Amino acid sequence: MSETVERESMEVDVLYVGAGPATLASALHLMRRIEAWNARAGNGRRRIEPPTVLVIEKSAEVGDHMLSGAVINPRALAELVPDFVEQGFPTEYVCTNDMTYVFTPKRAFRLPINLPMFKKRGYHVASLNKVAKWLAKRCEEAGVEIYAGFAGDKLLIEGGRVVGVRIGDMGVDKHGKPKPNFQPGMDIRAKVTVLGEGVRGTLAKQLISRFELDGPRPQVYETGVKEIWRVRPEKHRPGRVIHGMIVHELLNAFGGMWLYDMQDHLVSFGVVTALDSRNPFNDPHLVAQKMKTHPWMRDLLEGGELVRYGAKAIPMGGLYAQPKLYADGALLIGDAAGFCNATKLSGVHMAMKSGMLAAETIVDALATDDFTSVTLGGIAERYRTSWAFEEHWHDRNFHGSWAQGFPFFFLNEPVRMYLTDGRGLVDMPEWHAGHAAYAKLSDLPPEKRMKPKFEFDGKLTFSKEHLVQFSGAQHEVDQPSHLVVLDTNVCSDICSVEYGNPCESFCPAAVYEMVPDEQYPGRKKLFIHHENCVHCKTCDIADPYQVITWTPPEGGEGPDYTGM
């Protein structure tokens, strides 16, 4: 809408964007650290006045957009809430049996020794949706305000520093005109704004671009597709956590699978697929459906019932792809800042720790009344001396090793892991952003130039359109599409010829469809089913021309990942 629209404004001391594990852990840690600081005030030590701390969240309720494999390393959690078990942390089971499997097209082999990166014994199997709600309750008890249904749309920048966030407008029709219920988004101004929106966050993208915070290597991503099934009681194994390498799919893209048991005879099954594949028809959803036809998976799931479905992108570039964590008036944490251990497929504990480091930095800023990079830059040293950095340092070249190709990867990994403390044969090798990895159709053999065909049986395997119903996704149809395509002619006239429209493949929710163009016989045009969107951000990442931008829809809309 027009910049001349009159908007309400409110002021807070600390503004968190996104109610995920990073921001909620940060807000809770902040309130406790301020309390501890003030308990030692006096004798020249300045007391910190209790700050107004606000968390805004785009989903209708805290946790609705939370999706993860969520086998949680309890290290950060124990630092934040030492008695988290006694306080009712929503653990499904504690892992007592961790295994690594290798899957060929017809067989499954359990490795006699579990791989080090997949050792999960003592980790907590959980629903991240429930974890977010649990953390939010403790934040509110500590005096933090949480506004759900508030989608941050634009960073407020004045004089070269971040001063807050503008909330997206509500009640705008698909033509961009105000509806009778139009409500302009308010401006929330803050001394410090902490962006923890999750992967490929809208405001984080603005911050990184505006202040040139990019790391030395481009961030790369995988998309995780997750399903929850209720299985036959005899197939349920409490405490079981399995990670699998799908050998035949590794020839297409890096990735793997997980499976763990939850309560009520539920199992969480998922597949992660790298988005830097050469294959323009790389399809994370299809990989997951094909995996369920494997005899081992079929034996587990047949006779069961699909309960939930969802998808989310995951930052996998590691240390060298992390952006700078601060700018004047702002901090970056969690997935938005690349806090994920790619080797272990584990990020919740890293996200929480990043938030706690941010909280400690904000205490210094409040104590000195300095919210410039001079003080906020303290997060960099805190990170560098933390166990989170140590984890990232040890695995700093994991993706770079893979990016050099299969032969180098399998030669380099033992050297990297066991002999050189994560360095490997080459330190910080080159790699490219995922969207630049596609091979053009003209460079592929003829049999690889068409999307693969697959028949969904409706019992074990399902189409994207069917599965979206299990994501709880809801969007008002009469609003501007939150999936903004800069030039749809690129899709019709260039991408269709060069790459075969990868958007139809990589989107796990059937949002993008090339349909006949009535005006130009023989031509196809892009149709966007934005109401299907599960907010995974894959399109924003994997579009080869980078003409697709994911923006937040009206606050409160999107998937409902209850129990996920």
**Does 80 map to a domain?**
no
DSSP string, 53-79: EEEEESBSSTTTT-----EE--HHHHH
492: domain CATH number? 3.30.70.20
**Does 76 map to a domain?**
no
225: domain CATH number? 3.30.9.90
* Residue 270 and residue 69 in contact, taking contact as beta carbons nearer than 8 Å: yes
pLDDT at site 408: 85
Integer Cα distance of 32 and 359 in angstroms: 10
Amino acid at site 174: K
* Residues 540, 465 within the same domain: yes
What are the beta bridge partners of residue 484?
Answer: 549
* Residues 27, 146 within the same domain: yes
As given in the structure block, the two tokens for residue 243 are: 């990670």
Q: Whole domain around residue 57: which residue ranges?
A: 9-70+133-215+322-379
**Does 556 map to a domain?**
no
* Residues 253, 298 within the same domain: yes
* Residues 234, 354 within the same domain: no
Cα angle 136, 270, 65; round to 5: 30
Where among 387, 409, 433 does a domain terminate? 433
What are the beta bridge partners of residue 483?
Answer: 550
Integer Cα distance of 425 and 130 in angstroms: 42
* Residues 340, 281 within the same domain: no
Tens digit of pLDDT at every position of the chain (564 positions): 556 788 999 999 999 999 999 999 999 999 999 999 999 887 778 899 999 999 999 999 999 999 998 999 999 999 999 999 999 999 999 999 999 999 998 999 999 988 888 999 999 999 999 999 999 999 999 999 999 999 999 999 999 999 999 999 999 999 999 999 999 999 999 999 999 999 999 999 999 999 999 999 999 999 999 999 999 999 999 999 999 988 777 667 778 999 999 999 999 999 999 999 999 999 999 999 999 999 999 999 999 999 999 999 999 999 999 999 999 999 999 999 999 998 888 999 999 999 999 999 999 999 999 999 999 999 999 999 999 999 999 999 988 888 888 788 878 888 888 888 889 888 888 899 999 999 999 999 999 999 999 999 999 999 999 999 999 999 999 999 999 999 999 999 999 999 999 999 999 999 999 999 999 999 999 999 999 999 999 999 999 999 999 999 998 999 999 999
pTM above 0.85, yes or no: yes
**Does 390 map to a domain?**
no
- Could you tell me which residues come within 8 angstroms of residue 42 by beta carbon, excluding any fewer than 6 positions away? none
Distances (CA, A) of 306 to 156, 351, 458, 469, 485: 43, 30, 11, 11, 33
**Does 392 map to a domain?**
no
* Residues 504, 542 within the same domain: yes
* Residues 288, 422 within the same domain: no
**Does 187 map to a domain?**
yes
* Residues 291, 179 within the same domain: no
Where among 315, 350, 366 does a domain terminate? 315
* Residues 328, 211 within the same domain: yes
pLDDT at site 3: 61
What is the tally of structural domains in the chain? 4
pLDDT at site 54: 99
**Does 298 map to a domain?**
yes
* Residues 295, 329 within the same domain: no
- Could you tell me which residues come within 8 angstroms of residue 126 by beta carbon, excluding any fewer than 6 positions away? 70, 71, 72, 89, 90, 91, 92
pLDDT at site 1: 55
As given in the structure block, the two tokens for residue 22 are: 């990073």
* Residues 300, 372 within the same domain: no
